[in-house]
Structure 1
Amino acid sequence: MINSEKTFIITTSILCLSIAIGEPVPFLMQLDRWEVLLPSIGISAMHMQLLHNGMVVMFDRTDFGISNISLPGGMCRFDPSDTAVKFDCSAHSVLYDVVSNTYRALKVQTDTWCSSGSVLPNGTLVQTGGYNDGERAARMFTPCGYSETCDWIEFPQYLAQRRWYATNQILPDGRIIVVGGRRQFNFEIFPRPDYHRYKGSRFEFLRETSDGDNENNLYPFLHLLPDGNLFVFANTRSIVFDYKSNRIVRVFPEIPGGDPRNYPSSGSSILFPLDETKNVMEAEIMVCGGAPKGAFSRARSQHGFTRAISTCGRLKLSGSNPIWEMETMPLPRVMGDMLLLPTGNIIIINGAGSGTAGWENGHDPVTQPIIYHPFDRRFSIMSTSSRPRMYHSSAVLLPDGRVLVGGSNPHIYYNFTNVEYPTELSLEAYSPPYLSFTSDSIRPKILTNDKIVGYKRLFNVNFFIAQFLTIYLLSVRIVAPSFTTHSFAMNQRMVILKLLSVTRDGLTNSYRIDALGPSTAEIAPPGYYMMFLVHAGVPSSAAWVQIE
């Protein structure tokens, strides 16, 4: 027997179909599901980045203490400035192979706590900042085979300023902008300009949005816009920023409610898919969740946990008078991760129902993701995970359409006993309803594709599908994999490409697509993307393409 609460959760995704066709649901079918992939990877996955070879780099911080995985070959690190353990033979980073569901230890030397990252056009992960001896560090990880020995390469004093709680964004020319950080009202460019004593550039907007010691503008939300400028959201305010000339070109109204949305209030934000099939390219932002003003100080002083924010704001950036349009989530959430699914829907996953980010500051874990359907502005409550994912959890979209979830450690050190929310070392995968076997007949399968896609250049994709309904239900989408930490998926973006034609091969029952690459590097910066075919709301597994 299924209790009434659980019945609502697992049937949400099929009720809409039932209502649409006017038929009752004859039986209950759980179309989405959770799966524990590994009970432990030895570390708590505070930061995650999917690479174009199907591996995921994960790491926490070096000053959590001894982790549960040893460095290989008897390696150790000696760090006299480490606040937890100065001689450490355990790892604080791992490389996870999605296909084989295995992992191996990586060696990171400097402290990566609350750092940021982006992937260069050649596929190398650039990871910036952190705490203590890592605050000015730049680290690079170049993908290799799982059995090979690639590892972190570090440049401990590379950055112009201390970067703790900063945000990164890949730029149209392949460089990376690194914005903010604790008491850093400035930004800098990676790789740094080739002149002496480069200190970055002042960014007074961050000073203006700082909220005292809490700040509430850390990990500012950055989105690269189709015109090449940046959308920047900090605390309650947002602007369009021309980083080349260091000037604000547009100021938007404050998000209604007056409550902060950035760390430690820790809401999240996404840029809606950019659609090349439309005559006019529109950019729209969404900001969801967070903690009300004063929640951080109340939690720290043990005066209680304040209910998280349940609202989302949508902001279309075009037009003469943009205004926030507010939505209400079915579940309040702080520290939730927002990811674009291949369908263009948005999943909000992980987090808490009350409190804020910070040590022991969160309560009431929210173990049910919600999926937001932008077209009809509808939320669906999904199935429940068995594992709370609180402070220091993360999530990324995988090429097979699942969402990889890891991390959660709301304690100063690793702590597994006598605490309400133990340190979580496991990995889970969440499968949205579109991965149900009930959709297999209309699911595209990419057979071959052009590996390199040029701007405004024709490219081809060959695919198979058992039941092709119509070309009008088919789309080609590229998704930039995110660097996810602290409730924000940096560099995440989706572009819907222009589909020119679909032809059928009668002998093999396969199909060929002719499509156009993205128009500009401002719309899709150079680099590796997951390319999905979506048919009638059902995505294929992704093929990797390099935009150049």
Structure 2
Amino acid sequence: MRYRPSPQLRKTALGATALVALAGLNAPAAVGFAERQYHQYKINQPRYKALYGHWDLVDVPQEFRINAIHAALLHTGKVLLIAGSGNDQRNFDAGRFQSVLWDPSDNSFKEVDTPKDMFCSGHAQLPDGRLLVAGGTARYEKLGGDVTRAGGAMLIKNEDPDKPRLLRKGTVFVGASGRAYRSLFDVLVPRATKKVYAPKAKRKAAVKVTASQARVYVEATVHGEKGISNTADQYAIAGLKGKDADNVYGLAAKLGLDKKDFQGLREAYEFDPVAERYITVDSMAEARWYPTLVTLKDGRVLAVSGLDDMGEIIPGRNEIFDPKTRKWSKGPDRYFPTYPALFLTQGGDLFYSGSNAGYGPADQGRVPGIWNLEKNTFAPVPGLSQAGRTETSASVLLPPAQRQRVMLLGGGGVGESHASTARTAVVDLKAKKPVYMDGPELPEGTRYLNAVLTPDDTVFTSGGSHDYRGKRASDILKAQFYDPATNAFSEAAAPTVGRDYHSEALLLPDGRIAVFGSNPLFADKDDTQPGVFEQRIEVYTPPYLFGDQSARPRLARHALTVGRGGTAVLDAADASAVAKARLMRPSAVTHATDVEQRSIELTVTRKGDALSVRIPDDPTLVPSGWYMLFVTNAKGVPSQAQWVHVS
């Protein structure tokens, strides 16, 4: 039946048209108003929604509006939004750190006690459904003109083989020049190592002691240039005497008033979705700010890159978290820029797409490739056009995961570059010699693009900006779907809220997509007014939810548990209407980086009214954990998700 607007809507449309004609004879402002009225009329028509989808703003009570830096979907169906200090030093200085749980099913909110500043941490889904959160912020950056006390890294030596030395925050170090510096953190210096060599002819046994060492950040006890030290010096520790003073001391080169970068945290936590609280686990060996956490084939999690406790990029020291022991161990060394996009591939290798965010030199760690962790070898993948514009790009493992194709979308130049690109590229990791091939271009050059896998095997992309952090009013109010089957984009309804740096998007269990955050530098085209962090939440309803909903497949709402390689029997309302089934891993996303999401094709079997699906038995394809199970009909309309725990 052909759609006919109601009398009231016809009046609205006719009124808007008349006003446009009248305004054309009068004021441009009136024309703009009329155009906006007509646009609102158009985008709310059923036919338009069925073609392009629809955006809605979420009503968020004032007390729960936070600067969402991280977003993760939990197996309870709730979304954990983590701000930490939210890129606001006033919050950091006050020790005010925030996390909020949002339940999209009833639009309820709850604030969660947040023990540390998890701003710019890393996260990954664990096999039992908890969320691992590691790293964060120990100190905010200070530009050269804002640094009032000279400071830098102090290397602490301990030559005592009998005992370690714990130096508390505030320990004072005094150099030969008389300049004094105070530590900003606790530091534990291990005991020195001692080796006894067997005696040789007419010689006594020899003993060799090798001093241990640890680093700590220090600042001058006085303000200004009087605290600067431009030469290497040895520093005595105030309060130590005798042998203790001889054994334990500090060494430092330049301690100046130059720019100080963010410093990372060592602390790590698990978020329990059932108890709805953070649980402390073993700390990392390295402090990390802007790290990537990626799940491995055995359920362990690899932490890669980040800025350390001195504000310096970590030179390739990676480590692995074991959820069984809740402890970290050394991982294979390899250097990457911060927030590298690393995907677990079939077979267990990691693929580095080239996407990254924020920190690292332009000529190191930027080449895409396949990383074999066991041998610690790296095979570059060539073919990426505009390879110098991968920072702040998006990457996804295209659906279904069995095809092992990764797509990179947009991106920009290193650092505060104005450059951006509309380039997309796709690589087939099953090829004998994987090579990136150019895909269809985005509507315009885009940094900070959000890309979300959907149950109908498409990729929804939205937002971003074509300049660094939305400079020059460059937020992009566009959205589109990428279809891997046709290798083409199609238009989607435009969002109403601009999203750039520090924005996130993820798939909800009901098939909608939620978008959070945005942290523009400026609020005007001339870059003269400071930007305001975007605290509104916008939800996109795709076209597949505006068709005939009576034909929408329906699954039972209770959770299932199934072993890898096993079969799950589904309670479906109409098994004969089900065409496909997908197992979709929930997102944990920040800084345009989401290496968690993947969509796995399931084999569907029908026997009368009974419907069953088989879970692949490959842990590199289906890592243990919680998944959303969607079934779709022949038109691609998905069910609401049923949660499945794969073990």
Fold conserved between structures, TM > 0.5 = yes
Residues 322 and 85 (structure 1), Cα distance of their counterparts in 2 relative to 1, 3 Å cut: closer
Structure 1 residue 256 displacement after superposition: 1.2
Residues 173 and 28 (structure 1), Cα distance of their counterparts in 2 relative to 1, 3 Å cut: closer
Residues 237 and 11 (structure 1), Cα distance of their counterparts in 2 relative to 1, 3 Å cut: farther
User: Which residue of 1 is the match for residue 540 of structure 2?
Assistant: 430
CA contact (8 A) 2:97 2:116 kept: no
| SS of match in other structure, 1:260 | coil
CA contact (8 A) 1:63 1:83 kept: no
Structure 1 residue 152 displacement after superposition: 1.8
Residues 384 and 312 (structure 1), Cα distance of their counterparts in 2 relative to 1, 3 Å cut: same
Structure 1 residue 9 displacement after superposition: 12
Indicate which of 569, 576, 584 corresponds to 1:460: 569
Deviations 1:159-199 (A, max 9, x none): 12122111111122111111112312232101399899955
Indicate which of 378, 388, 405 corresponds to 2:498: 388
Structure 1 CA distance, aligned partners of 2:39 and 2:131? 41
User: Which residue of 1 is the match for residue 276 of structure 2?
Assistant: 150
- Are residue 224 (structure 1) and residue 344 (structure 2) matched? yes
Deviations 1:396-445 (A, max 9, x none): 11000011111112359xxxxx9474221121111111111x23133101
Structure 2 CA distance, aligned partners of 1:64 and 1:195? 29
Structure 1 residue 482 displacement after superposition: 1.1
Residues 311 and 515 (structure 1), Cα distance of their counterparts in 2 relative to 1, 3 Å cut: same
Structure 2 CA distance, aligned partners of 1:324 and 1:8? 40
User: Which residue of 1 is the match for residue 217 of structure 2?
Assistant: none
Moved more, 37-46 or 163-172: 37-46
| SS of match in other structure, 1:190 | strand
CA contact (8 A) 1:166 1:180 kept: yes
Q: Which amino acid aligns with 2:133?
A: Q
- Are residue 540 (structure 1) and residue 547 (structure 2) matched? no
| SS of match in other structure, 1:495 | strand
- Are residue 178 (structure 1) and residue 322 (structure 2) matched? no
- Are residue 288 (structure 1) and residue 288 (structure 2) matched? no
Structure 2 CA distance, aligned partners of 1:377 and 1:197? 41
CA contact (8 A) 1:272 1:286 kept: yes
| SS of match in other structure, 2:534 | coil
Give matches, 1:509-524, under 5 Å: 512-524=610-622
Indicate which of 187, 191, 208 corresponds to 2:322: 191
CA contact (8 A) 1:91 1:106 kept: no
Indicate which of 267, 270, 273 corresponds to 1:137: 267
- Across the aligned residues of Structure 1 and Structure 2, the Cα RMSD in angstroms comes to 3.4
Structure 1 CA distance, aligned partners of 2:431 and 2:306? 32
Structure 2 CA distance, aligned partners of 1:9 and 1:332? 27
User: Which residue of 1 is the match for residue 181 of structure 2?
Assistant: none
Give matches, 1:441-456, under 5 Å: 441-447=550-556, 451-456=560-565
CA contact (8 A) 1:478 1:531 kept: yes
Structure with more contact order per residue of length (Cα contacts < 8 Å, sep ≥ 6): 1
Q: Which amino acid aligns with 2:626?
A: Y
Q: Which amino acid aligns with 1:290?
A: G
- Are residue 484 (structure 1) and residue 613 (structure 2) matched? no
Computing the radius of gyration from Cα coordinates, the structure with the larger value is 2
Q: Which amino acid aligns with 2:265?
A: E
Q: Which amino acid aligns with 1:518?
A: P
- Are residue 316 (structure 1) and residue 447 (structure 2) matched? no
Residues 325 and 403 (structure 1), Cα distance of their counterparts in 2 relative to 1, 3 Å cut: same
Deviations 1:72-96 (A, max 9, x none): xxxxxxxxxx7755334x5521111
Indicate which of 96, 100, 125 corresponds to 2:102: 96
Structure 1 residue 530 displacement after superposition: 0.3
Indicate which of 77, 80, 87 corresponds to 1:57: 80
Structure 1 CA distance, aligned partners of 2:426 and 2:37? 30
CA contact (8 A) 1:34 1:429 kept: yes
CA contact (8 A) 2:559 2:642 kept: no
Structure 1 CA distance, aligned partners of 2:79 and 2:53? 23
Q: Which amino acid aligns with 1:446?
A: L
Indicate which of 525, 528, 545 corresponds to 2:623: 525
| SS of match in other structure, 1:464 | coil
User: Which residue of 1 is the match for residue 449 of structure 2?
Assistant: 336
Residues 362 and 164 (structure 1), Cα distance of their counterparts in 2 relative to 1, 3 Å cut: farther
The normalised TM-score by structure 2 is 0.66
CA contact (8 A) 1:237 1:254 kept: no
Structure 1 CA distance, aligned partners of 2:552 and 2:416? 49
Residues 465 and 364 (structure 1), Cα distance of their counterparts in 2 relative to 1, 3 Å cut: farther
User: Which residue of 2 is the match for residue 244 of structure 1?
Assistant: 374
Residues 365 and 92 (structure 1), Cα distance of their counterparts in 2 relative to 1, 3 Å cut: same
Moved more, 449-458 or 224-233: 449-458
CA contact (8 A) 1:439 1:538 kept: no
Indicate which of 321, 333, 337 corresponds to 1:202: 333
- Are residue 33 (structure 1) and residue 164 (structure 2) matched? no
- Are residue 87 (structure 1) and residue 94 (structure 2) matched? yes
Q: Which amino acid aligns with 2:586?
A: P
CA contact (8 A) 1:93 1:106 kept: yes
Structure 1 CA distance, aligned partners of 2:73 and 2:463? 18
Structure 2 CA distance, aligned partners of 1:186 and 1:344? 36
Give matches, 1:357-372, under 5 Å: 357=469, 361=471, 363-372=473-482
CA contact (8 A) 1:450 1:461 kept: no
Structure 1 residue 4 displacement after superposition: 10
Residues 46 and 448 (structure 1), Cα distance of their counterparts in 2 relative to 1, 3 Å cut: closer
Q: Which amino acid aligns with 2:554?
A: K
Gaps of 5+ in 2: 1-12, 18-33, 140-263, 308-312, 356-365, 523-527
| SS of match in other structure, 2:403 | coil
- Are residue 271 (structure 1) and residue 397 (structure 2) matched? yes
User: Which residue of 1 is the match for residue 112 of structure 2?
Assistant: 106
Gaps of 5+ in 1: 15-24, 66-81, 207-216, 276-280, 299-304, 413-417, 505-511
Structure 1 CA distance, aligned partners of 2:49 and 2:327? 66
Indicate which of 389, 404, 412 corresponds to 2:514: 404
CA contact (8 A) 1:126 1:139 kept: yes
Structure 1 residue 5 displacement after superposition: 11
User: Which residue of 1 is the match for residue 30 of structure 2?
Assistant: none
Structure 2 CA distance, aligned partners of 1:496 and 1:123? 21
Indicate which of 125, 133, 140 corresponds to 1:127: 133
User: Which residue of 2 is the match for residue 117 of structure 1?
Assistant: 123
User: Which residue of 2 is the match for residue 212 of structure 1?
Assistant: none
Structure 1 CA distance, aligned partners of 2:382 and 2:48? 47
| SS of match in other structure, 2:643 | strand
Deviations 1:138-174 (A, max 9, x none): 0211012xxxx6322335x701212211111112211
Residues 363 and 166 (structure 1), Cα distance of their counterparts in 2 relative to 1, 3 Å cut: farther
- Are residue 496 (structure 1) and residue 496 (structure 2) matched? no
Residues 5 and 83 (structure 1), Cα distance of their counterparts in 2 relative to 1, 3 Å cut: closer
| SS of match in other structure, 1:523 | coil
Structure 2 CA distance, aligned partners of 1:435 and 1:96? 22
CA contact (8 A) 1:452 1:546 kept: yes
Structure 1 residue 11 displacement after superposition: 9.7
CA contact (8 A) 1:11 1:30 kept: no
Structure 1 CA distance, aligned partners of 2:612 and 2:324? 40
User: Which residue of 2 is the match for residue 256 of structure 1?
Assistant: 385
Deviations 1:351-373 (A, max 9, x none): 11x2124xx65741112211101
Deviations 1:296-333 (A, max 9, x none): 444xxxxxx44x31111000012223322212122332
